[in-house]
Amino acid sequence: MRWLLLLGVITLNSASEALAKTPNVLIVMTDDQGLGDFSFMGNPVLRTPNLDAYARQSVRLTDFHVCPMCSPTRGQLLTGLSALRNGATSVTAGRTFLRPGIPTLADAFGKAGYRTGIFGKWHLGDFYPHRPIDKGFQESVYHLGWGQLQSTPEFDWPLIDGRYFHNGVEKRYKGHCTDFWFDSATAWIKECQQQNAPFFCYLPTNAPHAPCIDLDEYTRPYQGKGPAGFFGMIAHVDKRFGDLMKFLAEQGLADDTIVVFMTDNGGTAGVKTFNAGLRAGKTTLYEGGHRVPCWIRWPNGKLGEPRDVNVPAQNTDVMPTLYELCGIKPSQGNTRDEIYRGISLAPLLREGEDLPDRKLVVQYGQIPAKFDSCVIWGKWRLVKGSELYDIHADRAQQTDLAAQHADVVSTMREHYERWWRGLEPLLNEFVPISIGAKAQPVVELNSGDWEGIYADNSGYVRQAAGGSTGGHWNIQVEEPGDYTFTLRRWPERAHVALGDKYEPTATSPANMANLHTVGFPTIAVAKLDIAGVNASTAADPNATEVTLHASVPAGRTKLKAWFADAGGKDLCGAFFVTVARRQER
């Protein structure tokens, strides 16, 4: 018996020792910062000393690609699957959600015994079952939509003293959001360390995405030298990134933490100042739209000397790379997805081995269309199925070589044709939002998720985008029953009447009583259409909301809500609709 107990102690000690050596993972991803927005890359104005120092210590993937826009990049990073396969193809229009059943990085690391946390921008769905807490993150500190102040769900919540959600519960923070994200992540990492638990920390900042509002100490040095607000936000991120790296070192975590730094798409406000020699920027299919930095450091990981690695890679590669580096066995996926999956870069990082010859596809979009893409093959870029560039000889993509290299064009088009065929049947299968779910009994829908309509910021709401009846939401009714639908034209907290045009004069919801109102065609009727049920009721234009009731069966359906005048003429959509089962209200 004693030798069995001794064996048990030895086994436990060995397990504890193995656990202690398990590498932590930290992914920091900034928003709308292009390849040229670093002094390390040669920017003549901007100074990023902490990110520069980190880059010099890292393996730098210099031919690394994401999607040209926010949500598609985030979905690819977290699933290892191309955007058109995982479902998050756009930033709005009902296309920001991951398809059900696709495991995320957080799912896998959580199952492997890691603590998992997100701090910052999610942008893959604000409602069940699409929230970060529904996608494997045990600790979720995040804002809604694509960013604060102007995104539809946030609608004028500021970047200073603003709103956030902690594991689905609305709260307020003090100070600038960049400080809050980094402070929250740092405190959580400290908790993980105290519990001797390995961590997977995802820190996607909303900075430097517009609106570019930051503290004077960061923006002042760039006044008159370029986009001061944008550069100031980057300087702020740089300062806090440096603080975080110092914290890891002081806590003895730096050597056993894999740190990945990247950005989510190409350049924006800084492109005119410096764009690292690339053509165009965010939303485009040229290099400036999707070629970004990816810098990886792990001192105890035997990655070799800091260096540039000029091999085409994509952010779908991050998942399998981290799995291999951390010894995590991936779940068995659909074999038909192989052409849409990334591959592990671990051999390239550790031994400098060559990767298999492969072709990558960059594509996203509100209405994905065939050949609206960039195909990457070594030095070649096939843009929109017809333009061919040699980016080794022509980094700025000024000379189209399609006519001179018809064989290359043909080969790359053939690959794309195979890639597209497997996706086309899925492109109009919209992923629904759930109502009536126990996990989120009250849901505050907004126009940012209307199918096929771009209405994801407060400007579109103020302009009454979507036409006279607005758009519809794709809905999964989890439980049948009687539901209440509270229709609003403006966010509940704004306290603005249905018949008023909302023009805020302050940047804080606390001061939203100071309004300049302009008359709107008189709203007199509210209408609702869901699951074959049509309902309407009188609406007071001086009221802030109107409520309708409907008995709804369980299952997949669509929800549409809008306003009309006394004569029955449709006026505009209900941009905000709160849905609850009657017993939950």
Q: What's the confidence (pLDDT) of residue 11?
A: 39
Does an H or E element contain 423, and which?
none
**Cα(312)–Cα(159) distance, integer angstroms:** 36
**Cα(462)–Cα(77) distance, integer angstroms:** 33
- Check: CB of residue 58 under 8 Å from CB of residue 49: no
**Cα(361)–Cα(252) distance, integer angstroms:** 40
The two three-digit tokens of residue 343, written as one number: 């591959």
The two three-digit tokens of residue 476, written as one number: 């999964």
Architecture of domain 19-290: 3-Layer(aba) Sandwich (3.40)
Q: What's the confidence (pLDDT) of residue 119?
A: 99
- DSSP category for residue 326: H
Rg of the chain over all Cα atoms, to the nearest angstrom: 25
End-to-end CA distance of the chain: 60
**Cα(385)–Cα(390) distance, integer angstroms:** 15
Q: What's the confidence (pLDDT) of residue 511?
A: 41
**Residue 151 burial by CB count (10 A; 0-12/13-18/19+): exposed, middle or buried?**
buried
> Backbone dihedral region of 327: left (phi > 0), alpha (psi from -120 to 50 degrees) or beta?
left
**Cα(209)–Cα(567) distance, integer angstroms:** 43
**DSSP states of 53-101 as a string?**
HHHHTSEEEEEEE--SSHHHHHHHHHHSB-HHHHS--SSSTT--PPPTT
SS3 of residue 574 by DSSP: coil
CB atoms within 10 A of CB 273: 19
**In tens digits, what is the pLDDT along the chain, a chain of 585 residues?**
444 444 443 333 433 343 347 999 999 999 999 999 999 999 999 999 999 999 999 999 999 999 999 999 999 999 999 999 999 999 999 999 999 999 999 999 999 999 999 999 999 999 999 999 999 999 999 999 999 999 999 998 999 999 999 999 999 999 999 999 999 999 999 999 999 999 999 999 999 999 999 999 999 999 999 999 999 999 999 999 999 999 999 999 999 999 999 999 999 999 999 999 999 999 999 999 999 999 999 999 999 999 999 999 999 999 999 999 999 988 776 667 899 999 999 999 998 888 999 999 999 999 999 999 999 999 999 999 999 999 999 999 999 999 999 999 999 999 999 999 999 889 999 999 999 999 999 999 999 999 999 999 999 999 999 999 999 999 999 999 999 999 999 999 989 999 988 876 544 443 444 343 445 679 999 999 999 999 999 999 999 999 999 999 999 999 999 999 999 999 999 999 999 998 744
* Distance, C-alpha 532 to centroid of its chain: 34
**Residue 387 burial by CB count (10 A; 0-12/13-18/19+): exposed, middle or buried?**
middle
**DSSP states of 128-186 as a string?**
TTSSGGGTT-SEEEEESSSSTTTBTTTTT--SBS-EEEETTEEEE--SBHHHHHHHHHH
The two three-digit tokens of residue 321, written as one number: 């790379």
- Check: CB of residue 476 under 8 Å from CB of residue 556: yes
- Supply the CATH classification number for the domain 433-584: 2.60.120.260
The two three-digit tokens of residue 150, written as one number: 């102007």
**Cα(477)–Cα(557) distance, integer angstroms:** 7
- DSSP category for residue 391: T
Helix axes 318-326, 70-79, angle to 10 degrees: 30
**Cα(434)–Cα(88) distance, integer angstroms:** 17
**Cα(239)–Cα(49) distance, integer angstroms:** 8
Between vectors from CA 314 to CA 311 and to CA 317, what angle results, nearest 5°? 100
* Distance, C-alpha 121 to centroid of its chain: 6
Strands (E), 238-290: 257-263
- Check: CB of residue 447 under 8 Å from CB of residue 456: yes
- Check: CB of residue 209 under 8 Å from CB of residue 154: no
**Cα(189)–Cα(198) distance, integer angstroms:** 9
- SS percent in the chain: helix, strand, coil, step 5: 30, 25, 45
Domain spans, the chain: 19-290, 433-584
